[in-house]
Structure 1
């Protein structure tokens, strides 16, 4: 059985008000994934890295983050996590921005959504904080493909 942890990066949300994290959990669970943990941290590189590494220790197959992937100065998720993802999956970000462009136009260019594998070969997705963006990523990219990516990585 596939297991996942969900990390929300936000200066304004908590577990109770985190709609995107709840959506991610619900969608994953509806596809047979066990959500091991959910946590919210502020937009701070050290806090993001600390919680991400704590999630690594739990041994999930997937770590999904949401929030902090834009171009605002406070959006530091990608800066925090890129050093922890030595194997990137460039096609994920490219495909996500293409799908987003179809939905929201040129605003999609500001998204730094990414995916990759950490040193423990856990598949990690870094999504925007928007609930609609998370739904798009889950429905069109993550849910159809995560099992294949995990299989390829572990063969």
Structure 2
């Protein structure tokens, strides 16, 4: 439920934003196929496809990459996607507590500003659904060089939840990043 003030404020936000998608997965990166410089395809990447499909009706997907869990490659990919015009980059995978999970440690130092509320709401909603196992999720979001970086877990259910939280605010966030 939104306040009248918030609804009025959002009216002045862009309706369409440019989004990049990154899936981090050692196994899925091996089975992916490069369509062109900015896009890949993989029938195995359910989480990346959920992000893509949830945004395609309203926003422009400018890039979609599937990469292995590699910090240097993640940084290169983020920069590449930002340079093709992405205002928001949503990643999935690599947010757990395993040895190969490097997403959070890689992107958090980039943040000019962290959106703590996103992670808090994500964990609260996960807790309501799954119980105390929610303590293992490290989903986060932050602003870097006027680009929003969102890091979601790799499970399709977690991605659906994350998109439910973040999608209604994408234009609003872009508006505020530019001010």
TM-score of Structure 1 vs Structure 2, range by shorter chain: over 0.9
Alignment of 1:92-131 (within 5 A): 92-119=118-145, 121-131=146-156
Partner of 2:170: 146
Q: Does the residue aligned with 1:115 lie in a helix, a strand or coil? A: strand
Q: Is the 8 A contact 2:90 2:152 kept in 1?
A: yes
Partner of 1:5: 20
Is residue 24 from structure 1 mapped to residue 51 from structure 2 by the alignment?
Answer: yes
2:91 to 59, 65, 71: 65
Alignment of 1:86-97 (within 5 A): 86-97=112-123
Alpha-carbon separation, structure 1, partners of 2:80 and 2:89: 11
Structure 1 spans left out of the alignment, 5+ residues: none
Structure 2 spans left out of the alignment, 5+ residues: 1-15, 33-40
Please identify runs of 4+ aligned residues in structure 1 that moved more than 6 A.
Answer: none
Structure label with greater radius of gyration = 2
TM-score, with structure 2 as normaliser: 0.81
TM-score, with structure 1 as normaliser: 0.93
Aligned residues: 152
Alpha-carbon separation, structure 2, partners of 1:88 and 1:47: 22
Alpha-carbon separation, structure 2, partners of 1:147 and 1:105: 31
**CA distances 1:16-51 after superposition (whole Å, capped 9, x unpaired):** 111100110000112x10111110111111111111
Superposed displacement of residue 153, structure 1: 2.0
